[in-house]
Structure 1
Amino acid sequence: MSVDTPEKQQTADIKPGSLLRSSGLVGVMTMLSRVLGLIRDIVIANFFGAGAGADAFFVAFKIPNFMRRLFAEGAFSQAFVPVLSEYRATAAPADIRILVNSVAGTLGVVLCVMTAVAVLAAPVLTALFAPGFLDEEVKFGLAVDMLRITFPYLFLISMTAFAGAVLNSYGNFAVPAFTPVLLNLSLIGSVYFITPFLDENVMALAWGVMIAGFAQLIFQMPFLARLNLLPKPRVDRHHEGVKRILKLMTPALFGVSVSQVNLLLDTVLASFLVTGSVSWLYYSDRLSELPLGVFGIAIATVILPSLSRKHATANSTEFSATLDWAMRAVMLIGVPAALALAILAVPLISTLFQRGAIVDNDVLMSAKSLRAYAAGLLFFMLIKVLATGYFSRQDTKTPVKVGVIAMVSNMVLNLMLILPLAHAGLALATSLSAALNAGLLWRGLLRQGVYTVQAGWWRFVGQLGVASLSMVGFLIWLNPSDQFWLSADIWQKIAWISGLCIGGAATYFILLFIVGVRVRHFKMQD
């Protein structure tokens, strides 16, 4: 049985015209993961509601998950993929294997040290990320115990992100996009199969996170082996590629992942609010992340290797055209998704989560923060794309400056809005700072001359506006009152929300077609 070598794989890049197809593939896989994620959250809500146990788990899971997004998928991937893409364009296959081995070994050692320190310092981390728990001994102790189980997930998922970055660089987007499905299956399974064996039922979720980390990493290994790039870790901090990656990572920590810092600040402040606030933010954030992951992150994932190659070959015209395509693609989905989330906040949360331990007040409170997150959804999506325009050129300093400005503005807005709007104020502050972040990133690309606005934007915005307003009118016209959603049975809710979503989407895309938007307009040569 023959094995594809890197020499063969160098001819297997994404084929011309496939950016849309690749984005669609990643989007479908991500959609599967996010739908299972919603099912996971429904199960958690049904079993644990929005009480102390759920609050403690969401904090214990958010800490390693935040660091994973900041460290692995954020700083590391954005630094590693451009360097690996450059090696693929200029270096021999043997040198690529040495780079992969050196990065795996160096990254692995750093992660092991971080994990060991975090497990020992779990009480300190919990107090740092959820200081409001200190006054509630049981909730604080539960969060500490779960954090000691969940934090090793950072090591496992970071190595998984490393493997996924290699696969993405070689045009295999499906496997990394599918991998998160295993986390959701693991957590769902842990609720049903581990809970009966534990005195503290909610601890089953922490063990589910640990199991998922192993499953996700092991799943990707055969695909790396097919590329003949299964790492043989070696610690080599002095390797030229490793040094460049480490240099790029330092400022990148404050770049593309600034939105994660803002979300974490929400959790810290929410821990001081009434019990349930952390959970309300979590459930609403999960819904807002569905379109963000399916479309925003999918498009950014696909264009990063493409932009990196175009930068390496000094193809500035196609670089700019690719960025412009990505922004239009994001707006095509981001604008109607944000409007729909705001209008259907109560219907969505009630249909998905209102059963078991979730009561009417939980639905209404979660809906408030969902509307606030919806206000920033388009900007969250644009940040993913615009930041990629910097990282693909190995420019991590500019996003740092923008990220610091956005983070400071978020802190100020949090303090201004938390008193009048409570947890919803925290969500709104995150959205407003995201708008500032996206605007500054876009202006920077224009000033640096690496992006030029392409023709046809005013026409596109007009077409988008007509279709979006038509969808809004349809949803407002047919959406029942909040009281209906709080009192109807589950099958009535499913029937109504399905009709609203299908009808709203149909209205939007039919109007787009009528005003002249076609699929061929979004085909992009790689």
Structure 2
Amino acid sequence: MSLLKNVGTIGGLTAVSRIFGFVRDILVARVLGATAMGDAWQLAFMLPNLFRRLFAEGAFASAFVPLFNRRMKDDGSLDEAQSFASSVLSVLLPILIVFGGLAMLVMPWVIEFFAPEGLGDNPGNLEVAVMLGRITFPYLMFMSVATLVAAVLNSLSRFAAAAAAPVLLNICLIAALGFGLTLDGDLEARRTTAQAMAWALSLSGLLQVVWLGYFMRRSGFQLSLALPKVTPGVKELGILMVPAIFGAGVYQISRFVDLFFLSTLPVGSYTYLQMADRWNQLPLGIIGIALGTAILPALSRYLSKEEGEEASRLQSNAIELAMLLTVPCAVALFFTGTAFVQTFMAGQAFTQSDALVTGTVVQGLVLGLPAYVLVKVLTPNFFARRDTRTPVFTAAISLVVTITLNIILVPQLGVTGLAIAGAVGAWCNIILLGGILHVRHFYRLEPRLLGRIVRITLASAAMGAALYFLMREIDGWFTASILEKTLGIAAILGVSAITYGLAAVILGVLDKATIARLMRRQG
């Protein structure tokens, strides 16, 4: 299957999940708002998700896939791969249970450390926040197992089930929020809603394990549990995972740093960042996750067969597709993010002033959107070579840059400073990753590709200029009636499509040769 088709399959199903997630966050904003209980929910939601993205989706998947692919035989035999995956699961599950139990024990201290200023002003808020954290943490265990099963399915080139699984998360949370809409909207109602959402989160993790397990069995692959035993394969996986935690998870590590700085800001800051990140995650999740997931198995196969030219071609196609999709998204959101937040999120517990702050945070986040996606595109080149150590170096430097900028910017700009610092750190990571790939002759940016990136940037800049002048004329529409808001969004979409489309045609951004190159079948 071609890169474009793989990305289309994963990205299309991920887009469905993101749309559900978008509806979920609209309801969260309106039901919980930028309040103490809204921040308590966001913190309880972020903690297991940060560990999941860092250890499971980041380090584990990146280290597991190349080792798993190496055990898949050309004749179609899966016995060795099946034995390896089962031994990993037998060791992983007890670790998750112990880690989850310890996390629940220390949850009061964790919540107190990361709680924003003013969360404890109302009696009972901290206790509810601790309870939410304890209820949500089993989600980490369920999703770590789900990640293993998803990695197996992706290695078997069965991408659809794993890409569709997050829809279950959003359906569960939307159902809990629907219950919250029937309540009065006071503090006690918000607490009850947050508890219902916490239970729904953990339930969704269990449902995703069942969903993925069903499709794994349909593919003819079986996992079995045995007494934990550190086999040579498990030991190699552990060795690869330690540096991969830093190399693949720089974005998540920076979010842990964000939690610390958020704890120094007033109530509402968690909610502002999460609501803004929803807009950033729409293209990041759909494009970045799809590309990273699609190219890692193929890169692993090419490199195991010493087909370096094919690996480089795949890497170039992935970079071009990433830039083609993310640069215009970033430019458009920079100029129109506040309008979208005002249109879709403002109302009830989420005020217009909350929407303005969130829109500013969106601007800071999207400055790094192409870099966040390119991290997911470049790091598989290292992981496919079983090199998870090199990205530690790049991650450490970018993290130092991010923390330094946080210290400087957060006191001046508040939560927006966090967004800008993270964006700059991500670009530092990209420069270092690309430079190391170039120096080691693993991958070199071709003049053809560089020229296409320049043209994509120019076409996006033309669209940005048009949106800048448009927003000066229609800015007031997004705080008016539903009709005016609808017309405003239609104007944004129309101007974006027309200006970017014309600029793309004039500059030759997309042509038949490019489409044919992206449609070529991958290994």
Q: Could you say which TM-score interval applies, normalised by the shorter chain? A: over 0.9
Counterpart in 2 of 1:182? 168
**Deviation of 1:193 (Å):** 3.2
**Deviation of 1:525 (Å):** 3.5
Tell me whether 419-428 or 490-499 shows the greater mean CA deviation: 490-499
List aligned pairs for 1:334-413, cutoff 5 A.
Answer: 334-413=326-405
Secondary structure of residue in 2 paired with 1:412: helix
Letter of the structure 1 residue corresponding to residue 88 of structure 2: V
Does the 8 A contact of 2:244 with 2:388 survive in 1?
A: yes
Quick one: distance in 2 between partners of 1:235 and 1:353? Answer: 49
Q: Is residue 2:147 matched to residue 1:161?
A: yes
List aligned pairs for 1:450-489, cutoff 5 A.
Answer: 450-480=442-472, 484-489=476-481
Secondary structure of residue in 2 paired with 1:237: coil
Does the 8 A contact of 1:58 with 1:279 survive in 2?
A: yes
**Deviation of 1:90 (Å):** 6.5
Counterpart in 1 of 2:272? 280
**Deviation of 1:225 (Å):** 0.4
Tell me whether 315-324 or 125-134 shows the greater mean CA deviation: 125-134
RMSD: 1.9
Counterpart in 1 of 2:128? 142
Counterpart in 2 of 1:30? 14
Tell me whether 429-438 or 478-487 shows the greater mean CA deviation: 478-487
Counterpart in 2 of 1:12? none
Match of 2:516 among 498, 520, 523: 520
Quick one: distance in 1 between partners of 2:26 and 2:336? Answer: 17
Letter of the structure 1 residue corresponding to residue 103 of structure 2: A
Match of 2:209 among 210, 217, 224: 217
Cα distance change, pair 508–384 in 1 and its aligned pair in 2 (3 A): same
List aligned pairs for 1:93-104, cutoff 5 A.
Answer: 93-104=78-89
Counterpart in 2 of 1:55? 39
Counterpart in 2 of 1:116? 101
Does the 8 A contact of 2:116 with 2:267 survive in 1?
A: no
Counterpart in 2 of 1:87? 71
Secondary structure of residue in 1 paired with 2:414: helix
**Deviation of 1:194 (Å):** 6.6
Quick one: distance in 1 between partners of 2:252 and 2:3? Answer: 27
Tell me whether 220-229 or 491-500 shows the greater mean CA deviation: 491-500
Does the 8 A contact of 1:68 with 1:154 survive in 2?
A: yes
List aligned pairs for 1:229-244, cutoff 5 A.
Answer: 229-244=221-236
Tell me whether 130-139 or 364-373 shows the greater mean CA deviation: 130-139
Q: Is residue 2:115 matched to residue 1:130?
A: yes
Secondary structure of residue in 2 paired with 1:344: helix
List aligned pairs for 1:424-439, cutoff 5 A.
Answer: 424-439=416-431
Does the 8 A contact of 1:176 with 1:220 survive in 2?
A: yes
Counterpart in 2 of 1:8? none
Does the 8 A contact of 1:322 with 1:524 survive in 2?
A: no
Cα distance change, pair 482–373 in 1 and its aligned pair in 2 (3 A): farther
Quick one: distance in 1 between partners of 2:259 and 2:292? Answer: 26
Counterpart in 2 of 1:72? 56
Secondary structure of residue in 1 paired with 2:4: helix
Cα distance change, pair 128–471 in 1 and its aligned pair in 2 (3 A): same
Quick one: distance in 2 between partners of 1:379 and 1:349? Answer: 23
Q: Is residue 2:288 matched to residue 1:302?
A: no
**Deviation of 1:360 (Å):** 1.5
Secondary structure of residue in 2 paired with 1:254: helix
Counterpart in 2 of 1:261? 253
In the superposition, the TM-score normalised over structure 1's length comes to 0.93
Cα distance change, pair 79–458 in 1 and its aligned pair in 2 (3 A): closer
**Deviation of 1:334 (Å):** 1.3
Quick one: distance in 1 between partners of 2:421 and 2:352? Answer: 25
Counterpart in 2 of 1:45? 29
Does the 8 A contact of 1:307 with 1:392 survive in 2?
A: yes
Quick one: distance in 2 between partners of 1:70 and 1:222? Answer: 26
Secondary structure of residue in 2 paired with 1:145: helix
Quick one: distance in 2 between partners of 1:119 and 1:434? Answer: 32
**Deviation of 1:89 (Å):** 4.2
Cα distance change, pair 320–495 in 1 and its aligned pair in 2 (3 A): same
Secondary structure of residue in 2 paired with 1:302: helix
Quick one: distance in 1 between partners of 2:401 and 2:26? Answer: 33
Quick one: distance in 2 between partners of 1:338 and 1:288? Answer: 8
Counterpart in 2 of 1:11? none
Runs of 5+ in structure 1 lacking a partner? Answer: 1-14
Letter of the structure 2 residue corresponding to residue 347 of structure 1: A
Q: Is residue 2:300 matched to residue 1:314?
A: no
Quick one: distance in 2 between partners of 1:254 and 1:133? Answer: 32
Quick one: distance in 1 between partners of 2:473 and 2:196? Answer: 37
Quick one: distance in 2 between partners of 1:247 and 1:449? Answer: 25
Letter of the structure 2 residue corresponding to residue 171 of structure 1: S
Does the 8 A contact of 2:117 with 2:267 survive in 1?
A: no
Secondary structure of residue in 1 paired with 2:72: helix
Letter of the structure 2 residue corresponding to residue 112 of structure 1: I
Does the 8 A contact of 1:133 with 1:271 survive in 2?
A: no
Runs of 5+ in structure 2 lacking a partner? Answer: none
Quick one: distance in 2 between partners of 1:150 and 1:341? Answer: 31
Cα distance change, pair 194–115 in 1 and its aligned pair in 2 (3 A): farther
Counterpart in 2 of 1:3? none
Cα distance change, pair 336–221 in 1 and its aligned pair in 2 (3 A): same
Letter of the structure 1 residue corresponding to residue 516 of structure 2: R
Match of 2:490 among 495, 498, 504: 498
Quick one: distance in 2 between partners of 1:491 and 1:47? Answer: 23
In the superposition, the TM-score normalised over structure 2's length comes to 0.93
Quick one: distance in 1 between partners of 2:205 and 2:46? Answer: 15
Does the 8 A contact of 2:172 with 2:200 survive in 1?
A: yes
**Deviation of 1:240 (Å):** 2.4
**Deviation of 1:228 (Å):** 2.3
Counterpart in 1 of 2:318? 326
